[in-house]
């Protein structure tokens, strides 16, 4: 199972690298995906309809102001 899921580590690292390389990086990053393993242990990222599914959500928290 570990070797089958290993490619996901590279995917998550790439998302992190992309998000943190922007001038104002987000304070929170969420990556959501569905995983399907076939009988021959081929990995697929899918949703319930067997379609590719990967959602990346980023959030920014404004810096505190003098009034805060």
Residue-wise pLDDT tens digits, 18-34? 999 999 899 999 988 77
Give, for 2, the enclosing helix (H) or strand (E): helix 2-20
Nearest to 45 by CA among 32, 62, 29: 32
Give the residue, 55 or 67, on which the prediction is more confident.
55
Contacts of 55 (CB under 8 A, 6+ apart): 30, 31, 32, 33
Position 11 pLDDT exceeds 80? yes
Question: In terms of C-beta distances under 8 Å and separation of at least 24 residues, what long-range contacts does 18-27 make, across chains too?
Answer: 19/56, 19/58, 24/60, 26/58, 26/59, 26/60, 27/59, 27/60, 27/61
What's the chain's average pLDDT? Answer: 77
pLDDT tier at 6, thresholds 50, 70, 90: confident
């Amino acid at each position: 199972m570990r070797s089958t899921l290993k490619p996901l580590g590279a995917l998550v690292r790439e998302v992190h690298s992309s998000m943190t390389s922007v001038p104002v990086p987000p304070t929170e990053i969420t990556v959501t995906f569905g995983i399907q393993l076939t009988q021959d242990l081929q990995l697929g990222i899918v949703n319930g309809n067997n379609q590719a599914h990967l959602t990346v959500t980023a959030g920014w928290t404004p810096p505190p102001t003098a009034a805060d």
